[in-house]
Amino acid sequence: MPPPDVVLPECVTSAVSESSLLPELIDALRCLPGVGPKSAQRMAFYLLERDRDAGRHLASMMAAAMDRIGRCQSCRTLTEAQLCGICANPKRDQSLVCVVEGPSDVAAIEQATEFSGGYFVLGGRLSPLDGIGPEELELGLLQQRLAAGGVRELILAISPTIEGSATSHYIAEMAAAVKVPVTRIAHGVPLGGELEYVDGGTLAHAFCGRQPV
């Protein structure tokens, strides 16, 4: 090592300059949900030391996905095709349409239920204060689909939050205007949930919505 008071020529300082790519990669990994500084560091070291091919593959899939995945022309879920796999599948009954907030809700319903109808993916909830109105959720497209006829039931599977309920209400009115029957999925105590751990609002709601057994 040269003593600290020697000025190094630039050809040397550029070769020995501190690494910036590694901290930049660690920082970039923190854009992933649930990834803090420690996990980001562990991920970066893991890829660089153990599996660069997987890192290269992930980088190229991610770049391609960000550029090529758009929204389905019919249901608005994420897909790189014009129509998603569900809309393009002639075995799905498109006269049943389930309205959800996002693509992850489609995945959850597909994994948990036997539902074999179609979807409409809002991409959010009505939230006037955040500038999210009917246009942002492409509700015009849903309205066209309802007005075109052929939908025998519109199923609302939207979170029972304040904004979600307002969104459900808005869509229910839209469907009523063209005489399409609307249902919403049941709200209540989760299966396996202990009553004492369920929040008061849910419990009150479940109590009012009690059914004969």
By the criterion CB under 8 A, which residues form the site for its own copies? 1-4, 15-22, 24-25, 28-29, 31-34, 39, 41-49, 51-52, 54-69, 78-85, 87-92, 94, 102-104, 107, 123
Q: Out of 29, 72, 155, 180, which residue is the one contacting Zn ion (CB under 5 A)?
A: 72
**3-state SS, one letter per residue, for the chain:** CCCCCCCCCHHHHHHHCCCCHHHHHHHHHCCCCCCCHHHHHHHHHHHHHHCHHHHHHHHHHHHHHHHHCEECCCCCCEECCCCCHHHHCCCCEEEEEEEECCHHHHHHHHHHCCCCEEEEECCCCCEHHHCECCCCCCHHHHHHHHHCCCCCEEEEECCCCHHHHHHHHHHHHHHHHCCCCEEECCCCCCCCCCHHHCCHHHHHHHHHCCCCC
Q: How far is the CB of 63 from Zn ion (least distance, A)?
A: 24
Kindly state the smallest distance separating residue 137's Cβ from its own copies, in Å: 13
The binder of Zn ion chosen from 75, 98, 106, 171 (CB under 5 A): 75
Instruction: Please identify, using beta-carbon distances, which residue of 15 and 213 lies nearer to Zn ion.
Output: 15
- Comparison of 24 and 173: residue with beta carbon closer to its own copies: 24
Stretch that binds Zn ion, among 78-86, 92-100, 146-154, 160-168 (CB under 5 A): 78-86
